Amino acid sequence: QGYEPSYRTINRFRVHSDVKELIRQCFVQFRCQLIEEKLIDQEAIFIDGTKIEANANKFTFVWKKSIEKYHHSLIERSNQLYNELLENEIIPEIEREGDEQLSLKELAQLVGKVDNVVAEYDKQIEESSDVPERKALRSERKYPKQVRKQLIDFVLRKQKYQRDFEILGTRNSYSKTDLDATFMRMKDDYMQNGQLKAGYNVQIATEGQYTLAYSLFSNPTDTRTLIPFLDEIENHYFVLPKHIVADAGYGSEQNYNDILSNRKREALITYNLYLKEQKKKYKQNPLNPDNWQYCEETDTYICPNQKRLEFQYHSVRTDRTGFQRRFKIYECEDCSGCPFRSSCTKAKEGNNRKLMVNEQWEQQ
């Protein structure tokens, strides 16, 4: 009958911490048995993941972008209302934590102050026996009463948005009927339709086709699950072997850097363009910068039109996880009149082709 479980109700359905620990110990003991029986040699682990649909209502979306949009609107409207109250001299100025937005505590304080104003009007109306005066007081009381109602609504909405942000954390979405589930793309159904459902990204580590460790993630992309999964394996399951094997979904500069530099292991992980780079068409494409001549002494590239691309400056890009990628930016000396211009660059007329080179990525 439209019943929606509360946060506490949903929590009761979660796996108990003692059971989680028992399952973990089972996996550790199972691996020890495999080693004793010489069924695995501990030379490598093979990592992959799959998305499992949550037992949650698929129509209970809560999107972070929507919450941020509504919250921003609430901040603007509450600030505007506060300024109106000051201009109309209905309440005195309050001491604020910051100028950007009114906190939940400050909004509640405004409700209390407006309540006092309304109560004062009620008292004056009750004490007055003059009909025109009572009518005038009721008219004056109308605006504070409307404001009080609006402020209470702001308080309730602020509480809701803060709770939403707490549940979301670093995620972009969650389901109201399973707060831990995130909406992610599942594999296409039999009609080749993409499926967006509440689910979990399950990561497993295997050797000899035996599952040795697992973990659940609310992040839909495998790239960003590798490092926390390796941390969990090291902290709760076993020492990582020499080789870490995974498919192209895990190939990123941050992941290579973590395995090679931090963990001192071998990363047998391909990357997205690997198969494309093996093709004859890719290797023989004259407009592909990978096929351009490079002079190490002058640190310059030579394009198909025999023009030089010289180093200009360094650039640093920071992704959402805080990882920094460093690029060297090269620029062609002159692209004007080049017969390859339309196919080589999207730069506007008068601008030259620029080339971004990530030396660490190329080395990895």
Q: What is the pLDDT of residues 230-280, one digit of tens each?
A: 999 999 999 999 999 999 999 999 999 999 999 999 999 998 888 898 999
pLDDT at 147 over 50: yes
Contact between residue 184 and residue 220 where contact means Cβ atoms under 8 Å apart: yes
% of the chain with per-residue pLDDT over 70? 94
User: 289 lies in a domain?
Assistant: yes
The reply to whether 215 and 311 lie within a common domain is no
Domain of residue 247, CATH code: 3.30.420
Residues forming a β-bridge with 53:
199
- Which residues form the domain of 169? 61-173
The answer to whether position 279 is within a domain reads: no
Rounded alpha-carbon distances, angstroms, from residue 46 to 3, 13, 145, 198, 356? 43, 31, 65, 26, 33
Domain boundary among 272, 298, 329: 272
Q: Is 360 helix (H, G, I), strand (E, B) or coil?
A: helix
| 169 part of a folded domain | yes
pLDDT at 345: 86
Q: How many CB atoms lie within 10 A of CB 337?
A: 7
Q: Which of 272, 304, 332 is the last residue of a domain?
A: 272
Do residue 26 and residue 169 come from a single domain?
no
| Domain count within the chain | 3
On whether the CB atoms of residues 212 and 218 are closer than 8 A, the answer is no
Say yes or no: 193 and 334 in one domain.
no
101 and 204 inside one domain: no
Task: Tell me, yes or no, whether 108 and 138 share the same domain.
Answer: yes
231, 332: one domain: no
Q: Is residue 278 part of a domain?
A: no
Tens digit of pLDDT for each residue in 188-198? 666 666 678 88
Instruction: Assess whether 165 and 195 both reside in one domain.
Output: no
Same domain, 70 and 155: yes
**Residues 50 and 196 placed together within one structural domain of the fold:** yes
Alpha-carbon dihedral sign for residues 154, 155, 160, 165? positive
Is the per-residue pLDDT at 11 higher than 80? no
Residues 38 and 183 in one domain: yes
Domain boundary among 173, 199, 232: 173
Whether the per-residue pLDDT at 204 is higher than 60: the answer is yes
In a domain, 26, yes or no: yes
Q: Which residues, 6+ apart, have CB-to-CB distance to 24 below 8 Å?
A: 236, 237
Asked if 251 and 323 sit in the same domain, the reply is no
Report the SS3 class of residue 277.
Answer: helix
Mean pLDDT of the chain: 88
**Within a domain: 280:** no
Q: Are residues 14 and 98 in the same domain?
A: no
In whole angstroms, what is the distance from residue 278 CA to residue 268 CA? 17
322 close to 347: Cβ distance less than 8 angstroms: no
pTM: 0.75
Window from 11-15, 184-188, 189-193, 293-297 with minimum mean pLDDT: 11-15
